[in-house]
Structure 1
Amino acid sequence: MHCYFLFCACCWPAAADQAPQETASGTAQSEIFPDDEIPSSSKPSGSSQPADAEINRDAALALAMENAGVPEKDAYNVKVERDRENDIPIFQVEFETQYGDYDFEIAIADGTIIGADYEVDEEWLDRLGGSPVTLEEAKQVVQSRVPGSSAENVRMREEGGDGRGRFEGELFHDGVKYEFEIDPKTGIIFDWNADLRE
């Protein structure tokens, strides 16, 4: 499975020049990221459900969108289906936006995100405001996406071979392997993969 992940809140574009998009609710929208719907960059990526609280389809979708930092109005082609991953009953949540496609695996038993995959189209990175981050600050961005993890356990390096610098790294936490790429100029996690390991 492919798993993409989250934007830094400071990095949402002002895209009033975009054509209206029809959302999952069928409503046309003329803006992609209005200022009043910018998600907090410090939101954790895990479940806000109490332990052992079984979730339904709506809760799974809400968790995925919160984790991805995607306003509901930006999502279309939304699918939420029951499935299994490593013998764990899950909701497979998929949706698309103008800036990337998203895929989540969320445990039905407690809302834990056990798989996630997204990638922001790089053409969007040049449009996003954002704020530059150092390597250490980038580690904190990653840690904020994985509740209970420690920034000290984030392994990250700087890469620049393609002309656009990036931080690449990985984190192992609670049986899940996370791999990611962050744009140092904006602080955006533009490529994120999370996979539950057996």
Structure 2
Amino acid sequence: SVPETPAGQGQTPPVSPAPEGEVAAGEISREEALAIALANAGVPEGDAYNVKTETDSDNGVPLYDIEFETDYGDYDFEVAMADGRIVGADYEVDEEWLDALGGSPVTAEEAASIVAGKIPGASAADVNIWEESGDGRGRYEGELFLDGMEYEFEIDPQTGRIFDWNADLRD
């Protein structure tokens, strides 16, 4: 026969709170999903308006579809309900706003680090980046493939701002 476990033994210990910036086990709320999207886009909450948060799913992954507008661009994010992972993103900052939003000039290496900083588990070495100068102002363009996601971006070298960002789950 199997001996009985005394009360209090063999139970899982209580789960400690998730570290700052991470989401504890269990689904995240709409508010948390919006906060994740705003932080990833670098948009202060006060700049966002016409905010829409809807539930959806993509390839069987339940997610929040989050859309918001700012004076400088429209933003669209897909955030997984289970863990807060961004599984889709699409936004473009109007270029005339780049100087007004400010920043500091960056090298291609610094731009790669900015991109890697937006993606959990990425390093600058993972980022494929090149310089484009056809439109006069110049820009860094690039891509990154990581954890089943494809990221494409454009960064303004004068401000270090990502002004075009696209993240998609690859099929």
RMSD of aligned residue pairs (Cα, Å): 1.1
**2:22 counterpart (37, 48, 55):** 48
Once the two structures are superposed, what CA deviation does each residue of 1:67-95 show, in whole Å capped at 9, x if it has no partner?
A: 11111111111100000111110000000
Written as runs of structure 1 = structure 2, the 5 A alignment for 1:109-120 is 109-120=82-93
**1:76 counterpart (13, 28, 49):** 49
**2:39 counterpart (60, 66, 76):** 66
TM-score (norm 1): 0.74
> Does structure 1 residue 187 correspond to structure 2 residue 151?
no
The whole-number CA distance in structure 1 between the counterparts of 2:88 and 2:76 is 8
* 1:155 matched residue in structure 2: 128
* 2:18 matched residue in structure 1: none
How far is 1:154 from its partner? 0.3
* 1:136 matched residue in structure 2: 109
Task: Between the two structures, name the one with larger relative contact order (CA 8 Å, sep ≥ 6).
Answer: 1
The whole-number CA distance in structure 2 between the counterparts of 1:137 and 1:143 is 10
TM-score (norm 2): 0.85
Aligned partner of residue 100 in structure 2, secondary structure = coil
What 5-or-longer segments of structure 2 have no aligned partner?
1-20
Runs in 1 of length 4+ with deviation above 3 angstroms?
none
* 1:166 matched residue in structure 2: 139
The whole-number CA distance in structure 2 between the counterparts of 1:129 and 1:56 is 32
